[in-house]
Amino acid sequence: MAVVVVGGHSRNLGKTSVVEGLIRALPGMHWTAMKITQFGHGQCSADGEACGCAVPDHPVAVSEERDPATGTDTARFLAAGAVRSLWVRTRQGELAEAMPRIRKELAEAENTIVESNSLLRFLQPDLYLSVLNPAVEDFKDSARLYLDRADAVLVPAGELGQPLWRGTSLRLLQGTQVLAMQPPEYVTAATVAFVRQRLGI
């Protein structure tokens, strides 16, 4: 059983597209896909806007996507070939409340791919990929905290150059594999080869 985590330093970088691309490129993994969203003060951490992900009566909600045609991120995972697709929602800072359910899902899955940075606080995945864009200044604390744990970073054009990030040292990425992310594909043959090699498949 392999656990792959895909994170990123901000929103709208292509994290969902990377997860989708890996599912499509490696169908033999029979992925269970999971998206983790944290919310607070009526806003969603995914895009900073008010949304319907908040669960007022419970600290945690887990829903399974069953329709690959709805257009949601979890539907995209199903459409790409995931065996199951789950959306985990928690309040900001309360992901620990969801960990028993997440661990149960991980234990029952053949292989799991998760879109999240915060999950790294609770487990060591077999592979952690971080999606970065040097032209986007915003850098989430959760991404900065775990940046030095990335096995590889996916960057447009495959170069870090001179990022606009403030307070984030490139020394955290010293020795880390840098892979090109070429939209609209996002996942290149080199990335697939890297994932295969690291997972031993």
Strands 31-40 and 84-91: parallel
* pLDDT for the residue numbered 58: 63
| Continuous H helices in 44-98 | 73-80
Give the integer Cα–Cα distance in Å for 55 and 39. 9
Q: Domain extents for the chain?
A: 2-199
Give the integer Cα–Cα distance in Å for 40 and 102. 20
* Whether the predicted pLDDT of 46 surpasses 80: no
With contact defined as beta carbons under 8 Å apart, do 6 and 129 qualify? Answer: yes
* Whether the predicted pLDDT of 88 surpasses 80: yes
Percentage, residues of the chain above pLDDT 90? 80
Give the integer Cα–Cα distance in Å for 138 and 136. 6
The reported pTM is: 0.90
Residue 45: pLDDT band by 50, 70, 90 thresholds? very low
Q: What is the mean pLDDT of residues 30-56?
A: 65
List the structure tokens of 118.
Answer: 């915060």
Q: What is the mean pLDDT of residues 29-42?
A: 84
In 148-189, at which residue ranges do the beta strands (DSSP E only) sit? 152-156, 177-181
* Whether the predicted pLDDT of 47 surpasses 90: no
Residue 150: pLDDT band by 50, 70, 90 thresholds? very high
Residue 59: pLDDT band by 50, 70, 90 thresholds? confident
Amino acid, single-letter form, for residue 56: P
Q: What is the mean pLDDT of residues 89-112?
A: 95
Residue 98: pLDDT band by 50, 70, 90 thresholds? very high
CATH number of 2-199: 3.40.50
Q: What is the mean pLDDT of residues 60-83?
A: 96
* pLDDT for the residue numbered 55: 54
Q: Provide the mean pLDDT of the chain.
A: 90
* Whether the predicted pLDDT of 153 surpasses 60: yes
Residue 52: pLDDT band by 50, 70, 90 thresholds? low
